[in-house]
Amino acid sequence: MKKKLVSMMLVGAMTVTAITGCGSSGTTETAETTEETAETTEESAEATEETAEATEETAETTEAAAASEEGSNTLTVWAWDANFNIPALEAAAEDYKANVDSTFELNIVEQSQSSDVEDAITLAGSSGDYSALPDIVLFQDHYIQRYVADYPDAWNTLEGADIDWDDFGAEKLSYSTIDGVHYGVPVDNGTAIMAYRVDLLEEAGYTLDDMTGCTWEKFIEVGKAVYEKTGKYLLCMDGDGNDLIYMMLQAEGQSQFTDGVPNFTENETLKEVCSLIVQMAQENVLYLANDWSDYTDQAIQGDMVAGVMNGNWIIPTIEQVSDNSGKWEITSLPTINGGEGYAANGGSSLYITSNSKNVELAQKFLAATFGAGSTATYDAALTNGGVITCSAKAGESDVYQQGVEYFNNQAIYAKIVEMGANVPVVEQSDYHYSARSVLATAIINAINGADLDAEIEQAESDLKFEMGIN
């Protein structure tokens, strides 16, 4: 690069000499022009060097993001959420290094959100080129079956891995087990909780015991009393993606689908669930937020509610209001006919991609940490990031048995693991989120005065059209 610059400057100098021999007129301007040309050339050279450095950095990043080299003792994993999933993976890496292989390294590449991983799999699958994928990816439970169906060549299975699958709840495994084959190792527990402000319940004349195993009819009665006494809603949900329907249905052991086909209009339980949601919204028992920010920042953290029902990952959101420490407790979900209800919402698992050159190492790492229900992995994951285990064995540790001050010293983590073991297995679908969307629209329309049965019929028709079902 420097030799080329010197050569161009020499040519410029020779040009100045030749022009000077022709007379003095324009010599100074030409010299200045030549000097500017030299400076420009030098800047171009510097820019080229910077481009080369940037290209080298990009290559290094791509290399780090892709699967590790065959025979190395390093694995690369993609995951999102620096405050939740990343600490869990760091805990697993430290556990493996301390107890299995001190030379092991886990290269964690943080993604901004879960859709980044989904987009990368889609791009790789569409092109048939999986070379940019890492050894392992964290993937949402509700999406994985669709991505295995659409891009079967993107994945390695966990067949042959030394994992005690009986240590995990059947519902959790129902997502990552496809045609009887295990593809993923569970990470975080998506078990749903019903959290209550017990101080506000008491103000309205009720206790947590009154709410445990109660009917939805009783819940509405209590909710109306709480709103009258305190001005707070007993329940809230993001209105743009109404997860209440799925959770309430699962607590009844029901699905939105039957044999892969949407089952709305002939599903009496689903219609009753939708009717209850409409009633709760109209009678100031349920607050349907405008969007996710309204749900988390205004409803929950803005102190608008006396109750929250969602996957247990909502706990850190609840805990942001320090003034409410000691005022919350959790229990199971209400049901239509009474009795404790159990459901799940969200959660993710770890999957080995087809681009991994170290499948055996990847299986060993997952089997020894998350797959073994390792207390070293899961105690640190809970303490550092709030990730709750799906493993019954890990849930027996002393860390899980400790009371949590914010939740009135309840041992909430042990309780969540216990509830998770009781979540019924219901039929899953690649169109889970599409079903949620069309049913949420039906409910909003019904709240605003439309006929609920007609809206549910339209929702089923819309989803069948999207799925290509006549």
> Tokens 């659409």 sit at which residue?
150
Q: Are residues 211 and 165 in the same domain?
A: no
Which domain covers residue 216, as residue numbers? 192-343+424-467
pLDDT band at 15 (very low <50, low <70, confident <90, very high): very low
Q: Is the pLDDT of residue 158 over 50?
A: yes
How confident is the model over 1-15, as a mean pLDDT? 35
> Tokens 């219609």 sit at which residue?
271
Q: Which one is predicted more confidently, 405 or 59?
A: 405
Q: What is the pLDDT of residues 305-353, one digit of tens each?
A: 999 999 998 998 999 999 999 999 999 999 999 999 999 998 999 999 9
Q: Which of 245, 197, 252, 250 is nearest to 407 (CA)?
A: 197
How confident is the model over 255-281, as a mean pLDDT? 97
Q: Is the pLDDT of residue 398 over 80?
A: yes
Q: Are residues 183 and 155 in the same domain?
A: yes
Taking a C-beta distance cutoff of 8 angstroms, is the pair 391, 220 a contact?
A: no
Q: What is the pLDDT of residues 364-373, one digit of tens each?
A: 999 999 999 9
| Other Cβ atoms within 10 Å of 63 Cβ, number | 12
Q: At what angle do helices 452-467 and 268-282 cross, to 10 degrees?
A: 120
Residue 415 maps to a domain: no
Encoded tokens for 414: 């042990």
Q: Are residues 362 and 458 in the same domain?
A: no
Residue 281 maps to a domain: yes
Residue 64 maps to a domain: no
Which DSSP state fits 173?
A: H
Residue 51 maps to a domain: yes
Q: Are residues 310 and 436 in the same domain?
A: yes
| Other Cβ atoms within 10 Å of 50 Cβ, number | 10
Residue 398 maps to a domain: no
Q: Are residues 321 and 203 in the same domain?
A: yes
Number of independent structural domains in the chain? 3
Residue 404 maps to a domain: no
Q: Is the pLDDT of residue 195 over 50?
A: yes
Q: Which one is predicted more confidently, 10 or 85?
A: 85
Q: Which one is predicted more confidently, 38 or 390?
A: 390
In the prediction, which pLDDT does 13 show? 37
HSE toward the beta carbon, residue 4, CA cutoff 13 A? 7
Residue 399 maps to a domain: no
In the prediction, which pLDDT does 430 show? 84
Q: Are residues 383 and 352 in the same domain?
A: yes
pLDDT band at 14 (very low <50, low <70, confident <90, very high): very low
> Where does residue 116 rank: exposed (0-12), middle (13-18), buried (19+ CB within 10 A)?
middle
Q: Three-class SS of residue 15? A: helix
> Where does residue 394 rank: exposed (0-12), middle (13-18), buried (19+ CB within 10 A)?
buried
Rounded Cα gap, residues 196 and 232, in angstroms: 11
What are 310's strand-pairing partners? 193
Q: Three-class SS of residue 154? A: helix
Q: Are residues 47 and 9 in the same domain?
A: yes
Residue 296 maps to a domain: yes
pLDDT band at 444 (very low <50, low <70, confident <90, very high): very high
What sign for the dihedral angle of Cα 308, 312, 313, 315? positive
How confident is the model over 232-258, as a mean pLDDT? 95
Rounded Cα gap, residues 299 and 18, in angstroms: 80
What lies within 8 Å, CB to CB, of 6 at 6+ separation is none
pLDDT band at 66 (very low <50, low <70, confident <90, very high): low
Q: Are residues 51 and 143 in the same domain?
A: no
Rounded Cα gap, residues 336 and 60, in angstroms: 56
In the prediction, which pLDDT does 39 show? 45
Q: Are residues 180 and 112 in the same domain?
A: yes
Rounded Cα gap, residues 442 and 225, in angstroms: 28
* Type of residue numbered 266: E
Q: Are residues 159 and 262 in the same domain?
A: no
Q: What is the CATH number of the domain that holds 119?
A: 3.40.190.10
* Type of residue numbered 327: K
Rounded Cα gap, residues 420 and 426, in angstroms: 14
What lies within 8 Å, CB to CB, of 302 at 6+ separation is none
Q: Three-class SS of residue 385? A: helix
Q: Are residues 171 and 94 in the same domain?
A: yes
> Tokens 């949407």 sit at which residue?
262
* Type of residue numbered 397: S
Average of per-residue pLDDT values in the chain: 87
Please give the helix or strand (H or E) that residue 74 lies within, else none.
strand 74-80
| CA 153 from centre of chain | 23
Q: Are residues 151 and 206 in the same domain?
A: no
Among 370, 393, 416, the domain boundary falls at: 393
